[in-house]
């Protein structure tokens, strides 16, 4: 066994290593190193000491005698390995080591940027079951990995909260602008992780006066997501008068722990993994990540790896699906142990109007709160400019002589919506009509613009563009209508919400669900205006934002409520409950629609449907999945044993058990691929969490090109906790004129009390 002196020696060497690295940081890059965790020699008291020894044995770069490798993070709970700053030759040297299973360059992830509880049916935090509300929900801790937190926000008021659970191991860190005493019984943890960002920024981080090494939120995004998940009730909340009412999170009694892993230029994988590692060790019950990158194999996906470790410890993980819709196959965070959340609209709107000189009046949306334009018409201009960029209102693209004193039509896309308004104002324009193109369809997202502005859909946008381009003297004015409730239809799938199919594992249907993600009111940072622009000097305690970043914490908060109500449920049981009870019809009793084109949505856009927390509390049956099942799933993906171990962090993985098809995982939804085979057969197992003596019958809906058989057609559960299996056979019929390459259906188990619904996506990779 190593002596205390040896351990102290390692620490001294670490200090020297950090000092030597400072001068050459810019010449190196951050790598995440996957180690064979169980091969640590007994000489080293900890894995940290072993990792440090491996780094110190590496040669210095030939270009600099001082470029010693720099250990940034030693991971323990989330990943078997460490992050280090290395030059390419040192990374190559590590790859040749037998104890090193992989060396991967750090990746950059991005953020997926009060009416909600009533819209979801949370009249009093599941009041029918929780009239007090149940103080047990105060034992649930939601860890939010984001841009930090604004602790002074009233959404983190701890009035009436009981003492912090004794099991909690987290803390609030101090910083130049963050006093740990700002934390309380509601906000019980606040940490920051910036070493990966430090290395990538080459020292510019330290020169940015707006970037401080502390948990404080300078961007607003993290405060918004944290308060959406578990914010306390705040009366008379609004954004400059819009959406006025009581703001509250989904789980008002749950605790919040903030892990700042995102900075002005992005979220680095090494920092995210460090945040997840610490959150697991601190003892969170739910992890909420409103960020992501592109698709990658699970053993290369930082969030997937960290999430597996969390789920293995009973932690529910909710992640945003991404904002790359409506293009197909644009999803992020698709690992089956993650709840992948898309975005839908609320039944609340903020109407605004564009009135044209030809007497036409068009309705759009806006959150502009300054002086209005009045009824007097002014000139209207749609300027494509000599380089075709004026129509997008990019910085520097507008000619002041052309737009001064006029309303400017700007096409949506390329740059931020609020930046377009800033560009118009800087060029002398007095108003803006933000017109959608085909990419955004009829989706309307309201913004707190710096000048009078209205956002309109593509069809209206085309009419306005035609009028502005063809009329000799086009004129317009803009008016505003405040806040309107009871909008129909709702919910509608947001056009920006990323879509399936799942490119990493096509046999797993993603996204899982949608939740409220358009025009969401929640707490905001005092360091930045509501638009986030430097020119925006306004300050507000609340802001309205849109994105799957907003829908994700809704589901995180709902998971906390279910965890409190059912403390013995696994993360997969909670996930199943939220999925199988989701609804697929809007408030007009029509099938969910897609904002991108106004057509009906599909499970590739909305997954199982829109969450219904009241029904999720008593789902009747759940599809449970163990971590051993997830390992068998990984083994079915033709990964090497080392690649499986990178995710599962188990030294004894042999893949002796694996599925013949990844779709055999006991998932609450189905994705059926017809390739060279016309027959696909899956077996699922349901667990009774409802009443003893429950009997369920199956109903199948599907396209005419597929014959679906379920055996047995009836399931009987004598006791609570009983498990029953069924097998479903999908047959692509011969002779059918299969002109489409995809279609959808459902399998529903129901009785008088419950309906357990699973969507089915079909894809034909070979036609015939």
* Residues noted as catalytic: 146, 221, 549
> Rounded to an integer, what distance in angstroms lies between the CA atom of residue 558 and that of residue 516?
12
Q: Within 10 Å of residue 570's Cβ, how many Cβ atoms? A: 18
- Give the pairing of strands 339-344 and 513-516: parallel
Residue 69 CB partners (closer than 8 Å, separation 6+)? 17, 21, 55, 56, 58, 84, 85, 86, 90
- 3-state secondary structure at position 409: strand
Cα–Cα nearest to 612, from 550, 566, 561, 672:
561
Concatenating the DSSP letter of every residue in 599-634 gives SB--HHHHTT-B--HHHHTS-SEE----HHHHHHHH
Residue 11 CB partners (closer than 8 Å, separation 6+)? none
Give the relative orientation of helices 548-565 and 571-580 as an angle to the nearest 10 degrees. Answer: 110
Q: Residue 688: in which H helix or E strand, if any?
A: strand 679-688
For the chain, what percentages of helix, strand and coil (3-state, to nearest 5) are there?
Answer: 25, 25, 45
DSSP type of residue 178: B
User: What is each CA distance from 452 to 405, 432, 745, in whole angstroms?
Assistant: 12, 6, 45
Helices (runs of H) and strands (runs of E) counted in the chain: 18, 39
Residue 716 CB partners (closer than 8 Å, separation 6+)? 694, 695, 724
Q: Within 10 Å of residue 265's Cβ, how many Cβ atoms? A: 15
> Rounded to an integer, what distance in angstroms lies between the CA atom of residue 502 and that of residue 673?
12
């Amino acid at each position: 066994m190593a002596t205390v002196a040896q351990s102290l020696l390692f620490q001294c060497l670490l200090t020297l290593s950090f000092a030597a690295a400072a001068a050459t940081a810019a010449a190196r890059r951050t790598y995440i190193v996957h180690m064979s965790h169980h091969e640590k020699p007994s000489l080293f008291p900890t894995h940290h000491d072993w990792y440090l020894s491996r780094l110190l044995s590496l040669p210095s770069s030939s270009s600099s005698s001082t470029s010693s490798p720099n250990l940034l993070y030693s991971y323990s709970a989330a990943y078997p390995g460490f992050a280090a700053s290395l030059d390419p030759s040192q990374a190559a040297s590590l790859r040749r080591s037998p104890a090193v299973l992989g060396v991967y360059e750090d990746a950059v992830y991005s953020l997926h940027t009060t009416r909600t509880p009533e819209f979801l049916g949370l009249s009093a935090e599941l009041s029918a079951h929780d009239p007090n509300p149940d103080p047990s929900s105060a034992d649930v801790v939601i860890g939010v990995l984001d841009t930090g937190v604004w602790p002074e926000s009233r959404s983190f008021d701890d009035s009436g909260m009981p003492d912090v659970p004794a099991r909690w191991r987290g803390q609030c860190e101090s910083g130049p602008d963050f006093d740990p005493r700002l934390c309380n019984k509601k906000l019980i943890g606040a940490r920051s992780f910036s070493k990966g960002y430090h290395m990538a920024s080459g020292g510019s981080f330290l020169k940015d006066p707006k970037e401080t090494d502390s948990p404080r939120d300078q961007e607003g995004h993290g405060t918004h997501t944290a308060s959406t998940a578990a914010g306390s009730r705040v009366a008379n909340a609004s954004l400059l008068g819009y959406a006025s009412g009581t703001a509250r999170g989904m789980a008002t009694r749950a605790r919040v722990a903030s892990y700042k892993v995102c900075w002005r230029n992005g979220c680095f994988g090494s920092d995210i993994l460090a945040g997840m590692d610490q959150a697991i060790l601190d003892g969170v019950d739910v992890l909420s990540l409103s960020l992501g990158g592109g698709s990658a194999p699970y053993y290369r996906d930082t969030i997937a790896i960290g999430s597996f470790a969390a789920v293995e410890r009973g932690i529910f993980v909710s992640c945003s699906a991404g904002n790359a819709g409506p293009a197909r196959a644009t999803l992020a965070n698709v690992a089956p142990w993650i709840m992948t959340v898309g975005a839908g609209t609320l039944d609340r709107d903020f109407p605004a109007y564009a009135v044209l000189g030809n007497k036409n009046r068009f309705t759009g949306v806006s959150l502009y709160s300054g002086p209005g334009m009045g009824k007097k018409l002014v000139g209207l201009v749609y300027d494509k400019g000599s380089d075709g960029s004026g129509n997008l209102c990019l910085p520097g693209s507008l000619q002041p002589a052309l737009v001064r004193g006029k309303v400017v039509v700007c096409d949506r896309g390329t740059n931020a919506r609020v930046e377009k308004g800033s560009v118009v104002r800087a060029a002398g324009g007095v108003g803006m009509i933000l017109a959608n193109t085909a990419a955004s369809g009829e989706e309307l997202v309201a913004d707190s613009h710096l000048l009078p502005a209205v956002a309109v859909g593509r069809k209206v946008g085309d009419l306005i563009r035609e009028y502005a381009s063809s009329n000799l003297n086009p004129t317009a004015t803009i008016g505003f209508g405040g806040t309107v409730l009871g909008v129909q239809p709702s919910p509608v799938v947001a056009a920006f919400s990323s879509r399936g199919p799942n490119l990493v594992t096509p046999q797993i249907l993603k996204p899982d669900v949608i939740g409220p993600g358009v025009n969401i009111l929640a707490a905001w940072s005092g360091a930045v205006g509501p638009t986030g622009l430097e020119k925006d000097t306004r300050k507000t305690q609340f802001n309205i934002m849109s994105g799957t970043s907003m829908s994700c914490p809704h589901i995180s908060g709902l998971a906390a409520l279910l965890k409190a109500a059912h403390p013995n449920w696994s993360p997969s049981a909670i996930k199943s409950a939220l999925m199988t009870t989701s609804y697929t019809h809007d408030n007009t009793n029509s099938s969910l629609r897609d904002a991108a084109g106004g057509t009906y949505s599909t499970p590739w856009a909305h997954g199982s449907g829109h969450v219904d927390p009241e029904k999720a509390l008593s789902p009747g049956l759940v599809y449970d999945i163990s971590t051993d099942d997830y390992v068998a799933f990984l083994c079915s993906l033709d990964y090497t044993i080392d690649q499986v171990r990178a995710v599962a962090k188990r030294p004894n993985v042999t893949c002796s058990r694996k599925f013949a098809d990844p779709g055999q995982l006991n998932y609450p939804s189905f994705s059926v691929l017809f390739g060279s085979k016309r027959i696909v057969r899956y077996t699922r197992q349901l667990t009774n969490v409802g009443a003893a003596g429950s009997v369920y019958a199956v109903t199948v809906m599907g396209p005419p090109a597929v014959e679906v058989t379920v055996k047995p057609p009836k399931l009987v559960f004598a006791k609570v906790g009983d498990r029953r299996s069924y097998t479903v056979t999908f047959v692509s019929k011969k002779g059918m004129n299969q002109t489409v390459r995809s279609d959808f259906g459902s399998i529903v188990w129901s009785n008088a009390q419950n309906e357990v619904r699973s969507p089915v996506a079909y894809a034909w990779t070979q036609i015939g």
